[in-house]
Structures are given as structure tokens and as C-alpha cells.
Amino acid sequence: MPRPNLTTSLATRLVDLMRRGGLAEGAHITEQWAADELDVSRTPVRKAMLFLTEVGILERVPQRGFFLTRDASTLGRPDAGLAEDVEESAYFQIADDHVGGRFTGSFTAADIARRYRLTPRQADRVLSRMEAEDLLRRRTGGRGWEFQHVMATVAAHDQSYRFRMIVEPAALLEPGFTVDAAAFALHRRQQKELLRGDILLLPRAELFQVNASFHEMLAGCSGNQFLLDAVRRQNRLRRLIEYRHQLDRSRLADQAREHLRLLDLVERGDMEEASTFLGRHLDNVRSIKTGARARD
């Protein structure tokens, strides 16, 4: 499977290290200690510590260094691609194998159990989860399973973002657009929590859902059911390929800050500016994830 990039991986390991050490809020975390404990040089450790600062787990004090912002016991174990749970690991391995073209065609629960070393009950639970997320469907007659159509290529991913760049900014300009104050408050809180550590600590599936539901919420406020349905469909289609990108979480702080900026613009009623900003936001994310050049 793809692995987290070095910054994400080291940040994850450092969080585990602090948890195992039972470090308290305010603990001084030095670069040399982290480098020695993780058996790496100080340069990549410093990048990981700056990332942890960006997501609110560490605080950097000028002339003094890095300090833990909360008791390490409150830091849940990061997913970040680690096989900490058999079913969770199998779920992502199946997803990665399918997106990578290594697992196609129809199959049975027994095939899943054998291929991914699961018990029959574990295989059934994994398949039920994937069915509930609209990734799988039972074959006609109920014998065996097959994947729903999902995005599996860079070209399709790029086209999806281009489609979203047409639909989502337009949703903000719909005449029936109305701010849902409760939904805005919920999503503002979720985005702020991402910047307080959740970017690193949430499992991939939950992290995807937080950000996907943010975009669905904005489309829903448009009052146009067709636009909302289009955004929901894109989220379903892109779920598996997006899981791969979440192995590198070092870029997600900027994304969360842009989401908060977008909420500010909409709540102020600056809809034209918000629409333009959302288009640029989607284009920048498209460029990062597909390697395509962003529009000028």
C-alpha cells in the first residue's frame, strides 16, 4: 500500500512516543530528544514538529522551543495508514487494491476472507461497511459482490474537480441560498478541531467525511436539490481515491483554514467573493492531488 509521506509518518510516530511516555501538558519537546528516540536526523524531525505546531498539538515558543499543548493521554492513536485494526486495515487494503487495478471483477465474502486473512464474520462486517458507503453492491440474484463505479484514475480525478469547480461555486450564487446557522456552527467547530490536532488524529474515513460533508452542506444551503445531488455523487465516486491522498496530511491545515475563510465570506454575505474563492480553493486542491497546473 502507499505509505504516509515522511512528515506525516514522523509526526504520527512522535505522537505515539509522547503518548507512551505519558507526557503532560506543557512538556518541553526538544528536536534532539525526538530525533534520538525516533532514530532519524533533526531536519525531518523539525519538519514533523512544525507540522504538529500547525495542527495545534505542539506550541512553538520563540527562543525556548516546542511544548505540548495538552496531556499526551488525550491524543488518540492516529490512523495515518497504520494497521492498528484488522478490519480497518483490510478495508483500506481492499480499497487500495481496487483503485490500483489489482482487485477487479466480482467476488464473494469467502474470497475476501481468504485474500485478506479475515474470519468470515470480519469479512461480512467489512463488506457491509463498504455496501453502506455505496462502494459495493450485491450482484443480481444476491450471489457475490461487485464494486460500484468509482474514480480510479488521475484523469478522472482531475475531471471530477473540474466538474466541482463548475457546480459548487454556482451553488453559492443560487437565489435561494440561505445560511443554515446551526450547520455553519457545526462545520466551523469541526474545521477548528482539525487545526487543534484532528488533521493527524482522525481515521481516514472520518477525515474524508468531515471535509466531504462541509461541501455538501454548502450545496444544500443553495436550496437546489439538483446541485446537492451532484455534489453528493462526486463525494461517493471519489471516496476511495481520496483515501490515498490522506496518507499525506501535511497539506491539510491550509485546506481547513480556507474552509473557515469561506464560511466567513458567506456569513458576511459576500457571495460573489465566496464563489470566486471556492473556485480557486478547488483548483488549488485539484493541482495538489492530480499534479495538473492550477489556473492563473
Q: Is the pLDDT reported for residue 102 higher than 90? A: no
* Ordered DSSP codes for 25-58: TT-EE-HHHHHHHHTS-HHHHHHHHHHHHHTTSE
For 288, other C-beta atoms within 10 Å of its C-beta total: 15
As a whole number, mean pLDDT of residues 243-271 equals 90
Residue 251: pLDDT band (50, 70, 90) is confident
Query: The domain at 86-147 falls in which architecture?
Result: Orthogonal Bundle (1.10)
Q: Is the pLDDT reported for residue 8 higher than 80? A: yes
Residue type, 82: L
Cell of 265: 465570506
Q: Is the pLDDT reported for residue 84 higher than 70? A: no
Q: What is the mean pLDDT of the chain?
A: 89
- Higher pLDDT: 295 or 110? It is 110
CA distance 40 to 161: 37
What pLDDT, on the 0 to 100 scale, is given for residue 267? Answer: 97
Q: Which fold has domain 6-74?
A: Arc Repressor Mutant, subunit A (1.10.10)
Q: Which fold has domain 154-290?
A: Four Helix Bundle (Hemerythrin (Met), subunit A) (1.20.120)
Tell me the three state secondary structure of residue 217.
Answer: helix
Q: What is the pTM of this model?
A: 0.79
CA distance 274 to 227: 17
Alpha carbon of residue 121 to chain centroid? 28
CATH topology agreement for domains 86-147 and 154-290:
no
Task: Map grid coordinates 444544500 to a residue.
Answer: 220
Residue 134: pLDDT band (50, 70, 90) is confident
Beta partners for 138? 145
Domain ranges of the chain: 6-74, 86-147, 154-290
